[in-house]
């Protein structure tokens, strides 16, 4: 009887597995049959918003369903990211996360309401962009070395803007401050748009800003670019040295973007979204558009994207410990 019971259990498990596979396939074939929401966990005008909108537009055209942008800003991207983590696991709520929301914040915030690896199904890494050190034209510095000399001569007199506490530009500036041995005062904003407004107006004097946000202002001469945070010079800013070339050896702090949905979403649905998003990202139109913004398309598979999140959480944990920054 025990053997018979064991065989029945095995048969039951096998039957459930066989039933699950067709159900997942059916769910993927039907997806999407209603509007999809793409959460941008920052205000309009930032790098996440700039890259997310064309993806949403192209997905809407491909799927024949609206893909609406939901700018859910606050707490360094945590509010919108948490909303995505708590959404139904059906693929109808997506979030365009960043190195901040899905790596840095895990160690930066002492009480975070989501786990970047556990609570999300990664769809694909979307793009990688450098950050750029920029100053208002009133700042008498034309290079990083001149800026560091100025900061050391007048410690604490220059303010730097960021899109908010815990965002990649904030951490990039803290690493710069630590490596250069200078004192600058942090002024956090609720997104890159408001920060850029005050930087352009001279209310703050410098910022490490994401390339898609800052390139137009550097080209127009409204802001002065001094260096990029990337390992190599950005394609759209070849004349701009890196911080490592400018004397901060080993400095590197880029921003990556990834597309995620709630953990537990059927794998077949995740695979379908991945295939459609990757096709869009690899299209000549989007590749050119992103390149003009200083963004390098990544477009990988869900397993690679999930592995990237895990490795980046570990990497930034070490960085945050080293510079000793914590937020409530």
pLDDT band with cut points at 50, 70 and 90 for residue 120? very high
How far apart CA 84 and CA 100 sit, in angstroms, is 15
First vs last C-alpha separation in the chain: 59
CA 83 to chain centre: 16
β-strand partners of 228: 132, 242
pLDDT band with cut points at 50, 70 and 90 for residue 326? confident
pLDDT of 325: 80
Listed range (54-68, 113-127, 170-184, 274-288) with the worst mean pLDDT: 170-184
How far apart CA 83 and CA 119 sit, in angstroms, is 11
pLDDT digit string (tens) for 261-277?
Answer: 999 999 999 999 999 99
pLDDT digit string (tens) for 15-38?
Answer: 555 555 555 555 567 899 999 999
Q: Is the pLDDT of residue 284 over 80?
A: yes
Which residues make Cβ contacts (< 8 Å) with residue 313, sequence separation at least 6?
Answer: 102, 103, 106, 107, 116, 117
How far apart CA 99 and CA 119 sit, in angstroms, is 16
Beta-sheet pairing, 296-297 with 131-135:
unpaired
pLDDT band with cut points at 50, 70 and 90 for residue 152? very high
How far apart CA 212 and CA 251 sit, in angstroms, is 20
Same fold flag, 33-129+255-323 and 131-237: yes
pLDDT of 7: 46
Q: Is 197 exposed, middle or buried (0-12, 13-18, 19+ CB in 10 A)?
A: middle
CATH class given for the domain over 33-129+255-323: alpha beta
pLDDT band with cut points at 50, 70 and 90 for residue 3? very low
pLDDT of 121: 98
Alpha helices for 92-210 (secondary structure H): 99, 105-108, 144-153, 168-180, 192-201
pLDDT of 4: 43
Q: For domain 131-237, give its CATH number from 3.30.70.1140, 3.40.190.10, 3.30.200.20, 3.40.50.800.
A: 3.40.190.10
User: What are the Cα distances from residue 303, in Å, to 63, 123, 130, 273?
Assistant: 24, 8, 24, 14
Task: Report the share of the chain in percent with pLDDT over 90.
Answer: 72
How far apart CA 205 and CA 133 sit, in angstroms, is 11
Domains in the chain: boundaries = 33-129+255-323, 131-237
Sign of the CA dihedral running 244, 138, 194, 186 = positive
pLDDT digit string (tens) for 162-215?
Answer: 988 878 889 899 999 999 999 999 999 988 889 999 999 999 999 999 888 899
What average pLDDT does the segment 51-75 reach? 97
């Amino acid at each position: 009887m025990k053997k018979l019971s064991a065989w029945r259990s095995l048969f039951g498990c096998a039957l459930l597995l066989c039933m699950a596979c067709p159900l997942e396939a059916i769910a993927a074939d039907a997806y999407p049959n209603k509007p999809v929401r793409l959460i941008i966990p920052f205000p309009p005008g930032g790098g996440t918003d700039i890259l997310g909108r064309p993806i949403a537009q192209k997905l809407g055209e491909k799927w024949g369903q609206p893909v609406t942008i939901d700018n859910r800003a606050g707490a360094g991207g945590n509010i919108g990211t948490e909303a995505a983590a708590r959404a139904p696991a059906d693929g109808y709520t997506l979030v365009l996360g960043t190195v901040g929301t899905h790596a840095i914040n895990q160690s930066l915030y002492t009480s975070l309401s989501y786990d970047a690896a556990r609570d999300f199904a990664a769809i694909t890494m979307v793009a990688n962009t450098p950050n750029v050190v920029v100053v208002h034209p009133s700042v008498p510095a034309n290079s990083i070395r001149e800026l560091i000399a100025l900061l050391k001569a007048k410690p604490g007199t220059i303010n730097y803007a960021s899109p908010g506490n815990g965002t990649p530009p904030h951490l990039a500036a803290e690493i710069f401050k630590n490596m250069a041995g200078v004192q600058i005062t942090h002024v956090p904003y609720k997104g890159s748009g408001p920060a850029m407004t005050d930087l352009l107006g001279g209310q703050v004097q410098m910022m490490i800003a994401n390339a898609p946000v800052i390139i137009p202002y550097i080209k127009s001469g409204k802001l002065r670019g001094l260096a990029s945070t990337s390992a190599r010079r950005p394609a759209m800013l070849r004349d701009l040295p890196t911080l490592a070339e400018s004397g901060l050896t080993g400095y590197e702090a880029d921003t990556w973007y990834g597309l995620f949905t709630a953990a537990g979403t059927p794998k077949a649905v995740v695979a379908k979204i991945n295939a459609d998003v990757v096709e869009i990202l690899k299209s000549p139109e989007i590749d050119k558009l992103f390149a003009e913004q200083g963004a390098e398309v990544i477009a990988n598979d869900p397993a690679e994207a999930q592995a990237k999140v895990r490795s980046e959480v570990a990497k930034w944990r070490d960085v945050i410990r080293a510079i000793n920054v914590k937020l409530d």
